[in-house]
Amino acid sequence: MPAYKKPVSVLVIVHTADLQVLLLERADHSGYWQSVTGSQDPDETLLQTAMREVKEETGLDATCYELTDWHIENQYEIFMEWRWRYEPGITHNTEHVFGLKLPIIVPVYIAAREHLRAIWLPWQEASEKVFSSSNAEAIRLLGSSRQ
């Protein structure tokens, strides 16, 4: 395991066919809701990162559902409170957006060290609840284009 995180990550919008979106509340920051996210490990493709993060954060096997690379790349400034995880001087992260489409709401099993709880919300409500603007934009895109 590297000493520092790689400043490349995935954002996976887990949703149902009728556009219910899964959100997770961060354990390290109560009240911060988000979709599945995580940094890319060395020698891992972005698809592998998305699959691993979905499994780690929800217990879901992404190979059993429709995982799609949305070919969206966001760059954002890393919050000061989390910069210690990256090499000194790293201030920005590149995020790659994926969608995981499930036929219906299924039970998820959250990683207690990462998240406090999980909820399913209609896409409009989910886009308003997440703390990240890129996460909100991806959820709005889901609703407008029905990915």
Question: Residue 77, annotated ligand binder?
Answer: no
Please tell me the predicted confidence (pLDDT) of residue 146.
57
For the chain, 147 residues long, the average pLDDT of each consecutive 10-residue run is 85 97 93 96 96 97 98 93 92 97 96 93 97 96 79
Instruction: Give the C-alpha separation, 21 to 18, whole Å.
Output: 9
Question: Residue 53, annotated ligand binder?
Answer: yes
Please tell me the predicted confidence (pLDDT) of residue 46.
98
Where do the domains of the chain lie, and which CATH numbers do they carry?
A: 8-145 (3.90.79.10)
Question: Residue 25, annotated ligand binder?
Answer: no
Question: Residue 57, annotated ligand binder?
Answer: yes
Please tell me the predicted confidence (pLDDT) of residue 7.
96
Question: Residue 132, annotated ligand binder?
Answer: yes
Question: Residue 37, annotated ligand binder?
Answer: yes
